[in-house]
Amino acid sequence: MHGAPVRLTPLTARLLLRLVAAEGEAVTARRLYRDVWQQTVELPHQGLRNRNEVQKRILELRRAFDRAGPGEGARIVRTGQLPTARGAESTYQLDLTVDELDSTEFTRLVGDALHAAPASAVRLLAEALRLWRGRPLSEVAGEEFATGPVRRLTQLRETALRELIAGHTALGRYDLALPVAEQTARERPDDPEAAAVVARLNARLRERHGDELLRHTLRGLRVDVVVLRGDLFDQEDANLVVGFCDTFDTFPDDVVISRESVQGQLVDRLFEGRHRLLDEKLRRGLKEFTPLATESVQAKRRGRRTRYPVGTAVPVPVGNRRVFALAYSRLANDLRARSAPAELRLSLERLWPAVARHGLFKPVAIPLIGAGLSRIVQLDRTQLLLLIVETFAESLRQDPAVSPELRIVIRTDELERTDLSAVEAYLRGADERGLPLPPTTAC
């Protein structure tokens, strides 16, 4: 009692299970003896001896309940009288509160859930199913007296599972509904509807994730790292990162800037081809930075001539979000962009503080930067992706509120040469190592 196990003799344990199966109803001593002792024929003058056997087991049962406190045995195992043609006959019944018997509490919780709103129903059903520890009354499941209660509880559990799936679905939590549906399908392999529910949930999850290839929530933080197949400029809810050369050229003339590059698409997609509008916003942002040098007309005949340090990250307002123009390569005077792994790492390390400062705590979307015309040939696409993820995770050591979501957007043609399992392994390792975050301070 009070969480401590109590050992009962086999017959007393069977008698307790018989009373549990009665579900609160009184059972005569005669019926208890027949069911518990499995009597098939009642001999003459044996009734008194049988009643005495039942009373001995009832006494043992009450003593066990008395360990919870004096008088608990008499309160829980009640004695009554039933008038019959043979005279008054003793009866016994369990009088337990709802929270004293798992099957009663299970029934109540499921019943309450059936009339509750989805969020409350999910909580009640999950609480009810935690009480389920295998087949009910398993020690006497084959007995006639247990058939009804076992069937009722089993059907009630099926209802609970079905309603839990419906509750999670109503709340849009298909990821939580799916394991419940899969469990139901395993238990009922011949039920086509159970298999159909699994199929529908899988379809909804695929539809919700769309082209999402990987999602990992960093342990201890409300920060997600996502790898997405698609178009950077379709990420309308996110700030964007666009790579630039150190001169911050914008005119997509296919000489200095390729129209197919991310820079060229930036001008077309977000500035309607008006590169001078982007120029003006860049000029305002670049006032915060000190130029390195200015080339002469003779040395650099095309494009802008003022150079800024690699790692310069300029927040460009576009509506209610920001485009971070990141200088991670150098545009030589022969108009070829060049960068190196060390320069890309430095640029990314300087990008994330700028995102934290100017990004309005929105998701930030970044392409597989370094894979294009900057010609960082020393790193393959997996290494470039890992570098983005690694520098972002490292930035969280200094400021865990850089962004709620890092979204790396890669093209389909880049995907076949990218090993996402390596990225997932890195993120799992980051969880295991933990991110030593700075201590919080009171305001």
- Final residue before a domain boundary, out of 75, 94, 113: 94
Distance of CA 8 to the CA centre of its chain: 43
Residues 232 and 303 grouped into a single domain: yes
Task: Please list, residue by residue across 183-216, b when 16 or more beta carbons sit within 10 angstroms of its beta carbon and e when fewer do.
Answer: ebbeeeeeeeebbebbebbeebeeeeeeeebbeb
CATH of the domain at 77: 1.10.10
**What confidence score (pLDDT) does residue 1 get?**
43
For the residues of 319-344, what is the DSSP string, one character each?
Answer: TTEEEEEEEEEEE-TTS-EE--HHHH
Residues 87 and 106 in one domain: no
Q: In terms of residue numbers, what domain contains 143?
A: 102-209
Give the CATH number for residue 260: 3.40.220.10
* pLDDT number for residue 441: 41
Structural domain contains residue 383: yes
**Domain count of the fold of the chain:** 3
pLDDT reading at 265 higher than 80? yes
Residue 375 and residue 231 share a domain: yes
Residue 141 scores a pLDDT above 70: no
The helix (H) or strand (E) run that includes residue 189 is none
What pLDDT score was predicted for residue 375? 65
Domain shared by 373 and 259, yes or no: yes
Whole-prediction pTM value?
Answer: 0.60
Is residue 258 domain-shared with residue 407, that is, in the same domain?
A: yes
Residues 65 and 169 in one domain: no
Position 27 in a domain: yes
Q: Are residues 194 and 231 in the same domain?
A: no
Determine the straight-line distance between the first and last CA of the chain, rounded to whole angstroms. Answer: 49
Rounded to the nearest integer, the mean pLDDT of the chain is 86
CB 256 within 8 A of CB 284: no
Residue 437 lies in a domain: no
Q: Are residues 259 and 147 in the same domain?
A: no
Same domain membership, residue 107 and residue 237: no
Supply the pLDDT for residue 435: 58
Q: Kindly tell me the number of DSSP H helices and DSSP E strands found in the chain.
A: 15, 13
Residues 343, 259, single domain; the answer is yes
Do 30 and 158 lie in a common domain? no
Confidence at residue 41, expressed as pLDDT on a 0 to 100 scale: 60
Same domain? For 219 and 314 the reply is yes
